[in-house]
Amino acid sequence: MSALDKKLLRDMVRLWAQALAIALVMASGVTTLILAVGAYRSLEETRSAYYERYRFADVFATAKRAPEFVERQILEISGVAAAEARIQEFALLDIEGMEQPATGLAMSLPDYRELRLNRIYLRKGRLPDPGRVDEVTINEAFATAHNFELGAKFHAILNGYKRPLTVVGIALSPEFIYSIGPGDLIPDDRRFADLWMSEKAMAAMFDLDGAFNSVSLKLLRGANQAEVIKQLDDILERYGGTGAYGRKDQPSHAFIDAELKQLKSMAQVIPPIFLLVSAFLINITLTRLIALEREQIGLLKALGYRRLTIAVHYMKLIVFIAAVGIVIGVVAGTWLGQGLTRLYADFFHFPFLIFKRGMDIYAIAAGISLATALLGGLRSIYTALTLPPAVAMSPPLPTHYAHLGIEKLQLIRHLSQLTIMAIRHIIRWPVRSALTVLGIAMSGALLITALFSLDSIEFMIDTIYFQADRQDATVNFTHEQPRKVLQEVEHLPGVLRVEPYRSVAVRLRHGHYNRKLAIVGRPPGADLSRILDRDNRPVELPQSGLLLSERVAKLLHVSRGDMVDVEILDDSRGQGSLDATSIGTRRSTRRLPVAGIIQSYLGLAVYMDLLALNEMLDEAPVVSGVHIAIDKSRTGELFKAIKGLPAVSAIALQDASLAKFRETLATNLTIMTTVYVVLSVIIAFGVVYNSARIQLSERVREFASLRVLGFTKGEVSHVLLLELAILVAAAIPLAFVIGYGFAWATVQGFESDLYSLPFIIKSNTYAISALVVLAAATVSALIVRRRIDQLDMIKALKTRE
């Protein structure tokens, strides 16, 4: 090993703490990049492989009752590669040991052939035997939630009949990677099940022999999906079709998309912050480090070393630091990335996981880190190298300090010389001071970005559960019910109040923008479930016109007073008596004004007066479900009674939903927040520690002189600590501003058709972020202070600068 390389190694040992601090910040950037991109790619790759292998459909549609031959008509649509028709119905489940009824989506499986589309992955057991009305294959999550093994039994109310079912198989389906029950905000595997049963058995139970009510299509590559949907709608219209939709509107797919979008925005926003900070940190530290090595550089030149050799020597130092950072980052990123992917795999239901990162992301992370490091160092190496050796070896000229402009103020005259030293030092190096402030501010901003989501979610919970949807429970019906069902519900035990709602599938059009969604009709003066305006104040439904959520207004490019076309997809006229022979009327379109824009964090909400809605549909009043207030001491009786109501498909309890919501968020958010807090602390610590060490190395003679002059250790530290304190104090308000910006960007990144996050940052979040930054800064400053205390003043003064 050459003498120069030995020097390098020993320099590394000497500088380990500073080098490690830089390496860790750099590692944070690499970690977040690999973590986010890795999880994103793994999740996307897993989903697409799952879709591919299990033939997930492209277009979905439901109808009331379509005869079998319609399937052949559908196959003739240009661009359709395959079709899979089935029967699907909601069923209330009665599970032993569970008071509350659960809900299942029962789907038929062809008896004598394999599924063409949406194939299921059998984890255990088998599919139900043809014609068996008592056999069922259930989804794995539901089985796990109830500890159901093969042979387990529960009851289901299928078309009004309570039937015992035996679990013969446990499976997963690409249709239900994210499996959420009707009316739920978040998956609750205890309360919602996917049930697969024999087609013959289901046809008999639901009186759908030779007919189907749900169809999925696989399209040919390059097929025009919009055109297929239009033709499919035309075909199904007469059979009570409710509007076909693509993957974009398939709930499971859409939820994963929203999650992927968030991961993507995380990969785009967070890692650059870290890389930026580490680049800056490396720049200030290495600039200083190399400035301190100025003499040695001069000496090496005096000894006849070539510039390139010396440059390579210092570049090796930078590369070494970067390498340490990259290695730590790669290991941590890979490890955390796998953890995050597993977390997703738990939350979503995949039969297998593909960890996909790709060498490119490692190469990009390493390349960017190395480049920022080298860029940070090169300039200072270059400066040192261009000095003639004699100049490099002689001590640099004393730094030129200026009088402070503000020194003319009386106030300043009262400051001690030590305080003035600190202030002048900051002002002397404005760029460095500003960058240090920015670095510290970045760590605070990151904390705010990590913590504000808790505020937003708390606010969202309060708005949804305590301001808007204040009902205790929501009862959904399998099909629209005549209004008289309200009396029945009202008379159920424990029910205190009832508020009906009606949900109608429509397509809203404005210009060339259109969107398939549901209009919810509510009675005037509804008090359990309220609609809130953009300031979260309850609003009355107008007698005519629509209330659109902000998201819908944005998607359709409409504002208050604009007219929108409402194409009614859900035609329930004559419901219950509809059979193969009944012929529906042409799908009708109405034109309605936008009466107002309202707040809604979930889904694509559009509201309308219930009476106006019924009038628009030109039909006898029916309801899709009811919101109820209940006497919570009588829930047992209520549940029991509901389990006996054939029309009910699901009952969602607000309390349970909220608990589940919090539980899920707690897991997901705690992990992410912890990661971010750790990373922020690393930044704050790294920046403050390095900046203190740099100061110390620059001013060691100054400090030693002060000690010689009789200043105490405390007084000498005061100069250094005061300067850091001023920088940190300046950084905190900046952190608030930047954090506000990052948080805002995050909210934008989160927004999807499924949910949007309110932009709320509580003062607590600011305070906690400031305190964490302060604590990290204090700890690192105190570590450096110890070095001042141990300062060997004689040695410091004897050596040349």
Partner 1 sequence: MAQSRKKSHAKTSPDVMFKVEGVTKVYHTGELDIHALSGVDLTLYEGELAVLLGPSGSGKSTLLNILGGLDVATDGHAWFRENEITRLTESELTSYRRDHVGFVFQFYNLIPSLSARENVALVTEISKNPMKPEEALGLVGLDHRLDHFPAQMSGGEQQRVAIARAIAKRPEVLLCDEPTGALDSKTGVHVLEALTSVNEELGTTTAVITHNMAIADIAHRVFHFGDGRITKTYANKKRVAPDKVQW
Binding flag, residue 311, partner 1 (CB under 8 A): no
Shortest CB 23 distance to partner 1, Å: 20
Out of 121, 305, 465, 740, the only residue in the binding site for partner 1 (CB under 8 A) is: 305
Q: Please state the closest distance from residue 311 (CB atom) to partner 1, in A.
A: 13
- Residue 286 makes CB contacts below 8 A (sequence gap 6+) with 318, 373, 376, 377, 380
Selected binder of partner 1 within 97, 151, 222, 304 (CB under 8 A)? 304
- Under the binding rule (CB under 8 A), the answer on residue 302 touching partner 1 is yes
Q: How far is CA 530 from the centre of its chain?
A: 27
8 A C-beta contact, residue 392 and residue 307: no
CB of 308 to partner 1, least distance (A): 9
Q: E strands of 708-767, at which residues?
A: none
Q: For residue 215, report the phi and psi dihedrals to the nearest 5 degrees.
A: -140, 145
How far is the C-alpha of 772 from the C-alpha of 31, rounded, in Å? 21
Q: Which residues contact 114 (CB under 8 A, 6 or more apart)?
A: none
CA-based nearest residue to 687, from 447, 446, 326, 439? 439
| Contacting residue, 112, 114, 303, 535, with partner 1 by CB under 8 A | 303
**CA angle 38–41–42, rounded 5-degree value:** 80
Separation of alpha carbons 189 and 144, rounded Å: 8
Q: Is the Cβ of residue 391 or residue 496 nearer to partner 1 in the bound state?
A: 391
Asked if 797 interacts with partner 1 (CB under 8 A), we say: no
* Shortest separation between residue 299's beta carbon and partner 1, angstroms: 5
The distance of closest approach from Cβ of residue 294 to partner 1 in the complex, given in angstroms and rounded to an integer, is 12
Alpha carbon of 101 to those of 153, 184, 378: distances in Å?
A: 15, 14, 68
Other Cβ atoms closer than 10 A to 358 = 12
Of the pair 14, 53, the CB lying nearest partner 1 is at 14
Q: Which is nearer to partner 1, 317 or 361 (CB)?
A: 317
**Nearest 5°: CA angle at 394, between 391 and 396?**
85
Q: Name the nearest CA neighbour of 272 among 742, 743, 777, 765.
A: 742
Let me know: does 195 contact 173? Beta carbons within 8 Å. no
**Residue closer to partner 1, measured from CB, 14 or 537:** 14
Can you read off the two tokens belonging to residue 118?
């949406």
Query: Which of 387/656 has CB closer to partner 1?
Result: 387
Residue choice 234, 295, 458, 562 for contact with partner 1 (CB under 8 A): 295
CB of 387 to partner 1, least distance (A): 10
Handedness of CA 121, 127, 130, 136 (dihedral sign): negative
Q: How far is the CB of 291 from partner 1 (least distance, A)?
A: 17
CA dihedral angle for residue 568, residue 571, residue 572, residue 576, rounded to 10 degrees: -170
Would you say 318 and 377 are in contact if contact means Cβ atoms under 8 Å apart?
yes
Candidate residues 72, 221, 484, 800; the one interacting with partner 1 per rule CB under 8 A: 800
Beta carbon nearer to partner 1, 14 or 557: 14
Name residues contacting partner 1, limited to 754-783 (CB under 8 A).
none
* Helices and strands in the chain: count of H runs, count of E runs: 23, 22
Q: How many residues bind partner 1 (CB under 8 A)?
A: 29
Residues 8-67 within binding reach of partner 1 (CB under 8 A): 10-11, 14
Q: Which stretch binds partner 1 (CB under 8 A): 298-306, 415-423, 497-505, 558-566?
A: 298-306
Least separation, in Å, of the C-beta of 13 and partner 1? 8
The answer to whether residue 75 forms part of the interface with partner 1 (CB under 8 A) is: no
Phi, psi angles (nearest 5°) of residue 315: -65, -35
Which of 126, 230, 306, 534 is in the footprint of partner 1 by CB under 8 A?
306
> Per rule CB under 8 A, is residue 285 in the interface with partner 1?
no
List of residues 6+ apart from 274 with CB closer than 8 A: 25, 26, 28, 29, 32, 33, 679, 683
SS3 583: coil
Q: Does 3 bind partner 1 (CB under 8 A)?
A: yes
Residues 383-442 that bind partner 1 (CB under 8 A): 388-391, 393, 397, 400
Q: In the stretch 171-210, what mask flags binding to partner 1 with x, by CB under 8 A? A: ----------------------------------------
Would you say 385 or 505 has its CB closer to partner 1? 385
> Does 6 contact partner 1 by CB under 8 A?
yes
> Which CB atom, from 399 or from 543, has the smaller least distance to partner 1?
399
Q: Which one of 227-235, 279-287, 300-308, 678-686 is the stretch in contact with partner 1 (CB under 8 A)?
A: 300-308
Least separation in angstroms between CB 11 and partner 1: 6
| Helix, strand, or coil (residue 110) | coil
Residues at the contact surface with partner 1, assessed by CB under 8 A: 2-4, 6-7, 10-11, 14, 295-296, 298-307, 388-391, 393, 397, 400, 799-800
